[in-house]
Amino acid sequence: MLNLVLFGPPGAGKGTQSQKLIEKFGLIHLSTGDLLRGEIFEGTALGLEAKKLMDEGTLVPDKVVIGMISNKLDANKDAKGFIFDGFPRTVAQAEALDELLISKSSSISGMIALEVNDAELENRLLLRGKSSGRPDDANPEVIRKRIKEYNNKTAPVADFYKNQNKYTSINGIGEVNEIFTSICDVIATWLKKAN
């Protein structure tokens, strides 16, 4: 199985690159942000709880997102592999993901971190906010809060995978297709090692 953690701050390009990776590798895309927005759209109790936190740029509780991922792994038993996008976002989530995968005799192949500076992230998200209607893209204050949450709670997840020798960072600034090629080059080295 090919299980990729696509990592990076808000606006780094995780969703954009995931779409291309799905097409090339036939993986299942698990984006906790998309799953939470789905719950909000459906008006579920979970969605109502998450909306307030997401709109202000705060992470939702670990238990909620771990439960969602666990359900999705169970529902996709025959998958060739998964792209985890926006998950894990805390060390507790990373530990839980390892346990969930071990219970399915699987593991994370590696993490690819997209490196993008804060000014570029802000520009990208403000630009997207104009057309997407995502409340958490709407103003610079919330965007800065999301970046702060990333630096405080999510950045340490990189060390979790560095300690397992599963971490690679690439430049996330530049042409989308060039970044995609860099990601594919990293995955090719994993596949070569696995064979």
| Window 118 to 177, contacts with ligand AP5 (CB under 6 A) | 124, 128, 136, 146, 174, 176
The minimum distance between CB 36 and ligand AP5, in angstroms, equals: 5
Non-local (6+) Cβ contacts of 36 within 8 A are 46, 47, 50, 54, 60, 65, 68
Distance from C-alpha of 60 to C-alpha of 36, rounded to nearest angstrom:
9
Supply the angle between the helices 45-55 and 62-75 in degrees, to the nearest 10: 130
Under the criterion CB under 6 A, does residue 16 sit at the interface with ligand AP5? yes
AA identity, residue 69: I
Instruction: Examine the residue annotation and report whether 124 is marked as an active-site residue of this protein.
Output: no
Which of residues 76 and 78 has its CB atom nearest to ligand AP5 in the complex? 76
Applying CB under 6 A, what is the total number of residues that bind ligand AP5?
29
The nearest distance, CB 129 to ligand AP5, in angstroms, is 9
Q: Is 54 in the site for ligand AP5 (CB under 6 A)?
A: yes
In the sheet with 2-7, reading across from the earlier edge strand, the strands are: 28-31, 81-85, 2-7, 110-115, 167-171
- Give residues 79-118 in contact with ligand AP5 (rule: CB under 6 A): 86-87, 89, 93
| List 20, 134, 162, 166, catalytic entry | 134
